[in-house]
Amino acid sequence: MSTVDDRVAEMPQIYRKQYMKAVNRKSLRAAIKAHCLECCGWEREEVKLCTDTGCPLFQYRPFVPRAVASKKSAESSDFRLQGLFNAPGA
């Protein structure tokens, strides 16, 4: 497992201050932002385009207006439920 110093050394300079704020427990928002950015290869646009509705942070991911995140999650839930009811043998 990598240490904080290892991770900081590998990430883009622009995100290091935010990441350290998260690691030092100064901001929950910073922790969410750091997680999403790291998950998406440090690409803000990829965080916006994230489709992993199974992620517990999906509703809270940064760089996306709240209304968009909520609607996307609701549509995904509807699609999954629809698949359950239309499944063979259902």
Q: Report the pLDDT value the prediction gives residue 7, as an integer from 0 to 100.
A: 92
Q: Which residue range forms the structural domain that includes residue 40?
A: 4-85
Asked, for residue 43, whether it belongs to a domain, the answer is yes
Asked, for residue 25, whether it belongs to a domain, the answer is yes
Q: Which tens digit of pLDDT belongs to each residue from 35-64?
A: 999 999 999 999 999 999 999 999 999 998
Asked, for residue 31, whether it belongs to a domain, the answer is yes
Mean pLDDT of the chain: 83
Residue with the two structure tokens 């609607």: 71
Task: Decide if 48 contacts 63 (C-beta within 8 A).
Answer: yes
Asked, for residue 60, whether it belongs to a domain, the answer is yes
Asked, for residue 40, whether it belongs to a domain, the answer is yes
Instruction: Specify the number of domains making up the chain.
Output: 1
What is the pLDDT confidence band of residue 27, given thresholds at 50, 70 and 90? Answer: very high
**With pLDDT > 70 as the criterion, what percentage of the chain qualifies?**
72
The residues, ordered by sequence, that sit 6+ positions from 33 with a Cβ below 8 Å of its Cβ are 18, 22, 62
Asked, for residue 90, whether it belongs to a domain, the answer is no
What is the pLDDT confidence band of residue 90, given thresholds at 50, 70 and 90? Answer: very low
2 vs 26, more confident:
26
